[in-house]
Amino acid sequence: MAGTLAEKVWEAHVVRRGTDGAPDLLYIDLHLVHEVTSPQAFEGLRLAHRPVRRPDLTLATEDHNTPTLDIDRPIADLTSRTQIDTLRNNAAEFGVRIHSLGDADQGIVHQVGPQLGLTQPGLTVVCGDSHTSTHGAFGALAFGIGTSEVEHVLATQTLPLAPFRTMAVTVNGELPIGASAKDIILAIIAKIGTGGGQGYVLEYRGEAIRRLSMEGRMTICNMSIEAGARAGMIAPDETTFEYLKGRPHAPEGADWDAAVEYWRTLRTDDDAVFDAEVVLEAADLEPFVTWGTNPGQGLPLSGNVPVPEQIADANERVAAERAIEYMGLTPGQPLRDIKVDTVFIGSCTNGRIEDLRAVAKLVKDRKKAQDVRVLVVPASARVRLQAEAEGLDRIFLDFGAEWRNAGCSMCLGMNPDQLAPQERSASTSNRNFEGRQGKGGRTHLVSPLVAAATAIRGTLSSVADLGADVPVPDGSPLDPDDALQSV
């Protein structure tokens, strides 16, 4: 029977078919764990005298609470330190592999899985973190779960899962210069809304998606959850195989050949039917920015802050009024006039080596706008090491940016990197919720290129605002020789 990519991966993992309305029981290939959503799950195991069923399919890392400065010193915040210590103790007690602060493989869980080669096509991947959808970029069925489910997977390596519907999100054509993967996903969310993907697994397809690097594909799948989707997926292809080959946990020799042969079958059949379909023309896209307090409240950078009176839907109008007030904006104000205090470049959405290279190319031999604070935070320690090997750290420091250690950093207010009340940021992260980056903080979600241009000018800007002669950088290395050792 014809099937979609998501259905094929699902079918390959059914341990037990649900009957009488019960959900299917699915096997989980890879369980990623971090310090915030796991302590109560391990405690549950302990109370029930249950072991971790498959420590060899489980990996822990520290990311949400970790500071990005002085990582060789004890964590100053005592509750954060306790949470990190709890994860370390749990990992030791239950035999789970952990990458702790200071370790070269530490970093945001959604970068660590891919860079180790553990995230592979056709797997089921879960983590107590909604941005687990990132791993769908490899053609894995990957989704965020709550702590009760974390405990369930630790105990059984399975999850009972309610069936999903499928949505094809086709992005035709070629992106215009200056637009990137981030602009594609922000435009998709603005189009279908923060609830538009509810109950669906999205499959991103079309020429614009096929042309993206793995980093770009991860950016897109990462934010599937911001459209409310269960997961986002992209069928694996040569780009995927090339990224994986030679990574520490990628299959080798005959296993590699067997794996690739299977991975090639992981595509939606031509005659398969999706439950819903959305089509975008890449050529219509331009740099995108959010103006409000949910990721669906976004517009092209050339636009203006909406005027609530002109919004027909009553709920949306009230939400817009509230968002504009919280964000300290004026209805009708051009988005380009918005001045920012901080630029944050990092997170599981845009803290990868390609993102850092694109930013470095743009800010090289320039100085940041005087009153703007610029934080560059690699997604993992390996990304940091790679960036340093390529000399990107010197470019950021000469620009006037801060070059930090790896972690979730300013994406969420759980560690020392936070916005002050009413401080405004242009952020390459994924959520602009009220208080997300610190109580009272105001967040505009942007691409790395828009973040870099904004850091240069001090107001929300695209590369085009820097002058007609400024080329738009891509994510390739500054020195072509560096490509050989990509993270």
115 secondary structure, DSSP code? H
Of 265 and 302, which CB lies nearer to other proteins in the complex structure? Answer: 265
Residues between 160 and 199 that touch other proteins (CB under 8 A): 160, 162, 194-195, 198-199
* 325 binds other proteins, rule: CB under 8 A: no
Residue of 4, 222, 240, 294 interacting with other proteins (CB under 8 A): 294
C-alpha span between 3 and 15 (Å, rounded)? 19
Residue of 3, 88, 116, 331 interacting with other proteins (CB under 8 A): 116
Position 412, amino acid:
L
Find the part of the chain contacting other proteins (CB under 8 A) among 299-307, 317-325, 333-341, 468-476. 317-325
Of 414, 409, 412, which is closest to residue 443 (Cα–Cα)?
412
C-alpha span between 193 and 430 (Å, rounded)? 14
Residue of 1, 21, 49, 467 interacting with other proteins (CB under 8 A): 21
* 112 binds other proteins, rule: CB under 8 A: no
Find the part of the chain contacting other proteins (CB under 8 A) among 67-75, 208-216, 266-274, 349-357. 67-75
State residue 208 phi and psi, 5-degree precision.
-65, -30
Tokens 């200071």 appear where?
102
Residue of 7, 66, 128, 473 interacting with other proteins (CB under 8 A): 128
Residues between 234 and 293 that touch other proteins (CB under 8 A): 248-251, 255-256, 258-259, 262
Residue of 4, 66, 222, 405 interacting with other proteins (CB under 8 A): 405
Q: Please, which residues have CB within 8 angstroms of residue 238's CB and are 6 or more apart in sequence?
A: none
Residue of 4, 37, 219, 429 interacting with other proteins (CB under 8 A): 37
Tokens 């039917």 appear where?
273
Crossing angle of helices 147-156 and 39-48, rounded to 10°: 50
In angstroms, what is the minimal distance from the CB of 130 to other proteins? 4
Tokens 């990137």 appear where?
180
Residues between 44 and 63 that touch other proteins (CB under 8 A): 48, 50, 53, 55-59
Tokens 């959520």 appear where?
431
What track of x and - describes contact with other proteins for positions 423 through 462 (by CB under 8 A)? --------x-xxxx--x-----------------------
State residue 188 phi and psi, 5-degree precision.
-65, -45
In angstroms, what is the minimal distance from the CB of 105 to other proteins? 6
Q: Is 221 annotated as a binding residue?
A: no
C-alpha span between 460 and 179 (Å, rounded)? 15
Residue of 46, 76, 93, 97 interacting with other proteins (CB under 8 A): 97
Two tokens, residue 277: 């379909």
C-alpha span between 236 and 253 (Å, rounded)? 19
In angstroms, what is the minimal distance from the CB of 367 to other proteins? 8
In angstroms, what is the minimal distance from the CB of 14 to other proteins? 8
Apex 136 CA angle, 260 and 298, nearest 5? 145
Q: Is 348 annotated as a binding residue?
A: yes
- Residues in the chain, how many? 487
Of 212 and 369, which CB lies nearer to other proteins in the complex structure? Answer: 369
* 117 binds other proteins, rule: CB under 8 A: yes
In angstroms, what is the minimal distance from the CB of 188 to other proteins? 16
In angstroms, what is the minimal distance from the CB of 227 to other proteins? 10
Residue of 413, 458, 470, 478 interacting with other proteins (CB under 8 A): 413
Q: Is 467 exposed, middle or buried (0-12, 13-18, 19+ CB in 10 A)?
A: exposed
In angstroms, what is the minimal distance from the CB of 394 to other proteins? 9
Q: Please, which residues have CB within 8 angstroms of residue 287's CB and are 6 or more apart in sequence?
A: 178, 179, 183, 300, 301, 446, 447, 449, 450, 462, 463
# binding residues, other proteins (CB under 8 A): 109
Residue of 118, 189, 190, 340 interacting with other proteins (CB under 8 A): 118
C-alpha span between 346 and 10 (Å, rounded)? 32
- Give the DSSP letter string of 391-445: THHHHHHHHT-EE--SSSGGGSTTSS--PPTT-EEEESSS---TTTTSTT-EEEE
Annotated binding site: which residue ranges?
Answer: 348, 408, 411
Annotated binding site for [4Fe-4S] cluster: which residue ranges?
Answer: 348, 408, 411
